[in-house]
Each structure stands twice: as C-alpha cells, then as structure tokens.
Amino acid sequence: MQTQLGLRVLTFKEGDVFVAQAIERDICVQANDFDTLKKRFECVVMLELEKSHGRQDDTPLSGIDAAPQEYFDLWMSLENDHPIDRFKLPELAVEMASAA
C-alpha cells in the first residue's frame, strides 16, 4: 500500500527568475513567471513519482533526500497568516507558499 506524502514548497524570486524548492524532497525548478513555475514543478514531480515506482521502497519520491535545513527553517519562519496554496497531485498533498 502506498503512502500519501505531504510536500511543502517554498517559492521565491532570485534575480529575474522564480524558484520553487520542495522541502521534504530536494526538488527545485525555475521559470520566468509564476504560472510556468507551478506547471514545471508539477511536471518534474510527476516524472520523479514515475521513477520512484520502480524502486523497492514503495514511498512516493523515495530515493530523493530532503532539502537542506535552511529551507525547513525558512518555512517555519513564515507568518501563521501567510497564504498557502494547497493542491493535490497523485500520491501527494502539496502546500506552496511564497517566501518573498
């Protein structure tokens, strides 16, 4: 039986590009605008999910380590009333928040 994984994602602007950095798994994408960023993130996660199905561990996205601690710390520093975009992908519940 597969487990549903919760995935928190920080978004921020770095220079001229937008960045999405997952926390529980070190998955990062960049784009020139936020809509493309979200689509790219979903696409990369779906491809990684597909790859993880061939591994012995049945956990979604197994084999991908967590992001560095600084991203966990940044997530925890966000205000409680900070807007969080929640959406579902197969096997994943995603929470996306802007760290800008």
Whole-structure pTM value: 0.84
- Contact (Cβ atoms closer than 8 angstroms) between residue 69 and residue 80: no
pLDDT of residue 99: 84
Where in the sequence is the domain holding 53, given as residue range(s)?
Answer: 5-98
- Contact (Cβ atoms closer than 8 angstroms) between residue 60 and residue 49: yes
Full pLDDT tens readout for the chain, 100 residues? 455 678 999 999 999 999 999 999 999 999 999 999 999 999 999 998 888 777 667 678 888 999 999 999 999 888 666 788 888 887 788 888 898 6
- Domain total for the chain? 1
